[in-house]
Amino acid sequence: MAMSMDRIVVSPSSYVYRPSQARGSRSSIVSMASTIRSASTEVTNGKKLYIPPREVHVQVKHSMPPQKLEIFKSLEGWADETLLTYLKPVEKSWQPTDFLPEADSEGFYDQVKELRERCKELPDEYFVVLVGDMITEEALPTYQTMLNTLDGVRDETGASPTPWAIWTRAWTAEENRHGDLLNKYLYLSGRVDMRQIEKTIQYLIGSGMDPKTENNPYLGFIYTSFQERATFISHGNTARHAKDLGDLKLAQICGTIAADEKRHETAYTKIVEKLFEIDADGTILGLADMMKKKISMPAHLMYDGQDDNLFEHFSTVAQRLGVYTAKDYADILEFLVERWNVETLSGLSSEGHRAQDFVCGLPARIRRIEERAQGRAKEAARNVPFSWIFGREIKA
């Protein structure tokens, strides 16, 4: 998974699509208190309470009409024959140790020394972005949880034999290698404060995420399609930077992870493509709804115990290095619009046509807004300390 452009892409109120009628009965809206809390500061009966440092204001649940559950039941055969083919057998999959110093070899210490020498040439800005990407990958338990909130496709037992459940577990297993590999590489580099990084991971998993997918698989699979492409772009760019900076092994690592993300992107976009084929109106309304709300990336509740704006600062550094930018956000939407043939959809309702027009016109509008926002961002740039690199300051 990848980072967010919450800092860079302006509030969606600037380009809101408002459907005249909700897609389905929104059976439950849960209000939650604050977006920023200081953990372990409240005391009751002499005992400190654990409070997630990040919470969301409002959550909508179960927005998909119940009658549409049958669509996903009917697609189980398709998922078995098509979706599961995008998984690789474990015995043919790479593992983190394939890219790391061999702990059981006599040359282990020399290999670690060589790794650390290469890492000396990498600037702090690069490490901030690489650490942020790694933390995002390490919050994988949250992403599996998110997929298992989706009505009609969740793993009901934890070991369900349905194709949807098999996909979720196997996708998680493949993704798990990404954080493992980057974590070990960063630990061996000696360039980062692993304890602060580990705290950030624990805070992030404890806070969860709010992708605004509403238990709705239409919204969920649109979200994951966008997410996987964003992650493919981000890891691809960290690979390019590593190569330019002379760390060819790290470039190989990031490129290998990017290839996984590309394969997963293809799988998720196939699901949405199938939904457009079966229910074009419901799917275009879902796409417009997600873009109206704006895609919030998995680590948007990131916190290290010190910086209340950590994710914003991390995203700004990624933007400045060109690892993941507001332009990428617009490009991803444009790519998906073309991938799903959104402009040529036919047989839509009047509301579906309005959603189609909104989505097709959005990339250009985002780019115009981004150009203005970038000018303001440059004027507001300042040095910010990052605990991940021992409090050293980076322009953000």
163-198 residue pLDDT tens: 999 999 999 999 999 999 999 999 999 999 999 999
How distant, in Å, are the alpha carbons of 49, 119, 393 from that of 90? 42, 30, 42
Two tokens, residue 208:
């969860």
Q: What gap in Å lies between CA 390 and CA 395, rounded to an integer?
A: 15
Catalytic, out of 168, 210, 238, 264: 264
Q: What gap in Å lies between CA 276 and CA 196, rounded to an integer?
A: 44
pLDDT of residue 371: 77
User: Given the DSSP bridges, would you call strands 43-44 and 58-61 parallel, antiparallel or unpaired?
Assistant: unpaired
Catalytic, out of 228, 281, 307, 370: 228
pLDDT of residue 297: 86
Q: Give the distance from CA 294 to its chain's centroid.
A: 13
Q: Tell me, yes or no, if 94 is annotated catalytic.
A: yes
Model confidence pLDDT, tens digit, residues 303-317? 999 999 999 999 999
Q: What gap in Å lies between CA 83 and CA 77, rounded to an integer?
A: 10
Catalytic, out of 174, 214, 261, 289: 261
**3 state DSSP class of 302:** coil
pLDDT of residue 370: 81
Task: Find all residues with CB under 8 Å of 216, minimum gap 6, and list them.
Answer: 23, 24, 62, 63, 64, 150, 151, 286
pLDDT of residue 378: 67
Q: Tell me, yes or no, if 241 is annotated catalytic.
A: no
pLDDT of residue 374: 72
Number of Cβ within a 10 Å radius of residue 334 = 16
Q: Tell me, yes or no, if 228 is annotated catalytic.
A: yes
pLDDT of residue 40: 45
Determine contact, residues 343/360, Cβ cutoff 8 Å.
yes
- 10-residue mean pLDDT profile of the chain (396 residues): values are 44 41 46 44 60 77 96 98 98 98 97 97 97 98 98 98 98 98 98 98 95 97 98 98 97 98 98 98 98 93 96 96 95 98 98 98 92 70 95 93
Determine contact, residues 213/153, Cβ cutoff 8 Å.
no
Q: Tell me, yes or no, if 178 is annotated catalytic.
A: yes
Catalytic, out of 200, 231, 316, 325: 231
Determine contact, residues 161/129, Cβ cutoff 8 Å.
no
| Closest to 209 (Cα-Cα) out of 153, 139, 289 | 139
Q: Tell me, yes or no, if 264 is annotated catalytic.
A: yes
Average pLDDT, the chain: 89
Q: Where are the beta strands (DSSP E) in the chain?
A: 28-31, 43-44, 47-48, 58-61, 383-385, 393-395
pLDDT of residue 48: 63
pTM higher than 0.85: yes
Q: Tell me, yes or no, if 261 is annotated catalytic.
A: yes
